[in-house]
Chains A and B, each alone.
Chain A
Amino acid sequence: MQKHTISLLVDNEPGVLSRVAGLFSGRGFNIESLCVAETLDPSVSRITLVTRGDDAVAEQIKKHLNKLINVIKLYDLTGTEYVDREMALIKVKAKAEHRPEILRIVDIFRCKVVDVSPSHYTIEVTGTAEKLSAILGLLRPVGIKEIARTGAIALAREKKLRGR
């Protein structure tokens, strides 16, 4: 069950996300994460989705996505050189005795504290899925109140995948 990161350029129209998501649920494919936003051309959105499956399943997923009328272009980044990033906002309890430790972790991971109160910090962290998991592991002992995490966004290295 290999992980596949697929980048789609789609028409920026109502219902397109539903077509993509419906395809996965209807055909029993799984979506691990999904990120959507407009590109430089407001009529086009980029969807980055991460899915899992053996080669035959991945092939079917790609063919079915390509078959959707609103999918303009599909790139399977898996096995190619690409950059991917996720982001998380992590709200941790910040008792006085933990504060230096938390700030040290923030420093090591090159994150930012974006909100502070007497009892908590909210930390913004960006990186690969592994990096995010690592910092969550380190912060867990001090007490994570809640997190919000994005799926992966990704772009191929080199020029072939310039956003529109």
Chain B
Amino acid sequence: MAVLKQEGVDTIFGFPGGVVIDIFDELSRTDIQYILVRHEQGAIHAADGYARAKKRVGVCLVTSGPGATNTVSGIASAYMDSIPVVVLTGQVPTALIGNDAFQEVDIVGITRPCTKHNYLVKRTEDLARVLREAFHIARSGRPGPVLVDLPKDVTQGKARYKPLPQPDIPSYSPTYKPNTKQLQRAVTLIKGAKRPVVFSGGGVILSGGSNELTKFAKKLHAPVTASLMGLGSFPGTDPLWLGMLGMHGTYRANMAIGACDLLIGIGVRFDDRVTGRVETFAPNAKIIHVDIDPTSISKNIPVTVPIVGDCKTSLRELNRILVREKVKFTKRARKPWLDKIQNWKDTTPLKYEQKNIIKPQYVVEKLYELTNGKAIITTEVGQNQMWTAQYYHFDRPHCFITSGGLGCMGFGFPAAIGAQVACPDRLVVDVAGDGSIQMNIQELATAVQYKLPVKVVILNNRYLGMVRQWQELFYGKRYTATDMKHAPDFAKLAESYGALGLKATKPREVEAVLKQGLDSPGPAFMDFWVAREEGVYPMVPAGAAITEMLLA
């Protein structure tokens, strides 16, 4: 407990069980608040949402066996998105380990490939050191989840506590400072580029480098695109903003990638959802890639100038060199390139038609308007996630929280709860689909119990919409296992939990329902019956080049 305080932990998301009673008991004697969730997956996603909104390490505490295994999806999600969380799992007493004891599972073995690191603590006297290391590893370098498995006898034991200094792990020293020569090479490429594109990712947000990125892009007067994880790292209302790129990226962003002569990727990992067919990705471009994790560089896409370093530090250094060498591009200098992009934007914008059935895009646009773009938005996974990414314009970092890499349905609602705990004064909205919301709907009880006024916008098409869209396009409209004909009445369900439940079936009701829901003091479910077979466009079919988009 003393270590947790030393690490600045103020909240733990958890669910108890036999082998962690001691820890919860001890917790009650501290001022660390715990949030009792209704399922362990909720605890880990909430810790993830908390970490992203608060820019701190999120902590979750669960029991052994099923408690631990229930967190695995959430750990994998945090791992893919590089989110700093520390997962404390109970374990059977050391003497019983390996005996197939009640609620025993080798969680360290199970989570080895989806944690940044993990520990089994065998002696009480190691506990303080291991916890310190866990927090240090989780938050430093490329952040990620660290799991600490705590056998019952270890947490029951007593050891003298002495505050420990910052851990020093000789075999672990992330590179923060970029190599000067590589920076210089990058600047040389920047000077010569006629059609540059800046491609920003989650790394920029994690490093707190959004201001530096914006400065950098303005100096270059270069258009900026971002991965799903990078949304908010550059103002979504800026004229240089291209929108997201990739499978459901904007037409202009993907076309710009195809035409650019220099691509500057910062804190990105060139995921397949971004690149499409790798051979045809940015075929005319030299690529500069800045990332703190050397394994991300040249993993999927060969790069011209690799820069290993912290995004914020690297951008600051780059900006410094640009100032020193008086490199500054004007709007006039970029005119041919920006005109071309404007033309793509004018001819092929994001579009939908709002007729007599509610369009999901319309709901997201209205949500954007009514919140002035200032809410913390979480999403589930699928169409709801993509529409949010396309139609909600994020001007600031840490406002968009989504399971990007793993694509874990059921993420958004508990993550919103975590974000609300982190930022009690902010409006937090989960944009959900009817499929995803049912995966962790039990957390409504958590939201109500702790008076967390989380709002949930359900884009209800009674389909698993994203898979249905693939079936429509690539499987001859055979909607196998995607028709969710039967669903609860979400409004009534919310009421039964003690939350506000609202429903809109006509376009003219959308705004009123949103207003009522957003203005209400407590948690609210807003159920929007949307056009069942609306698709997310543009769409790049799997395996195609990202410039080969289906537009509707």
Contact = CB atoms under 8 A, between A and B. Distances in A.
Contacts of B112: 15, 18-19, 22
A59 B171 contact: no
A110 interface: no
Interface stretch (A60-68, A122-130, A147-155): A60-68
Contacts of B117: 69
Contacts of A67: 293-295
Contacts of B171: 11, 69-73
A15 B108 contact: yes
A164 to B, nearest CB: 12
Contacts of A59: 298
A63 B294 contact: yes
B169 interface: yes
Contacts of B109: 15, 18
Contact of B172 (A15, A23, A69): A69
A72 B170 contact: yes
Contacts of B169: 69
B335 interface: no
B137 interface: yes
Contacts of B113: 22-23, 26
Nearest to A19: B112
B294 A69 contact: no
B167 to A, nearest CB: 11
User: Which one of B120, B169, B294 has the greatest number of beta carbons of chain A within 10 Å?
Assistant: B294
A108 interface: no
A13 to B, nearest CB: 10
Contacts of A11: 171
B299 A60 contact: yes
B137 A69 contact: yes
A24 to B, nearest CB: 11
User: Which secondary structure characterizes the binding site on chain A?
Assistant: helix
Interface string B286-304: 0000000111001100100
Nearest to A56: B298
A125 to B, nearest CB: 36
A63 B294 CA distance: 6
Contacts of A73: 171
A78 to B, nearest CB: 18
B295 A64 contact: yes
Interface string B198-220: 00000000000000000000000
Contacts of B170: 72
Nearest to B119: A15
A61 to B, nearest CB: 10
Interface string A19-40: 1001100100000000000000
Contacts of A23: 113
Nearest to A73: B171
A97 to B, nearest CB: 52
Interface of A: 11, 14-15, 18-19, 22-23, 26, 56, 59-60, 63-64, 66-67, 69-73
* 8 nearest A-B residue pairs (beta carbon): A63-B295, A72-B171, A69-B117, A63-B294, A26-B113, A69-B172, A64-B295, A22-B113
26 contacts: A11-B171, A14-B120, A15-B108, A15-B109, A15-B112, A15-B120, A18-B109, A19-B112, A22-B112, A26-B113, A56-B298, A59-B298, A60-B295, A60-B299, A63-B294, A63-B295, A66-B294, A67-B293, A67-B294, A67-B295, A69-B116, A69-B137, A69-B171, A69-B172, A70-B171, A71-B171
Given A22-B113, A69-B169, 5 more contacts: A15-B120, A22-B112, A64-B295, A69-B116, A69-B117
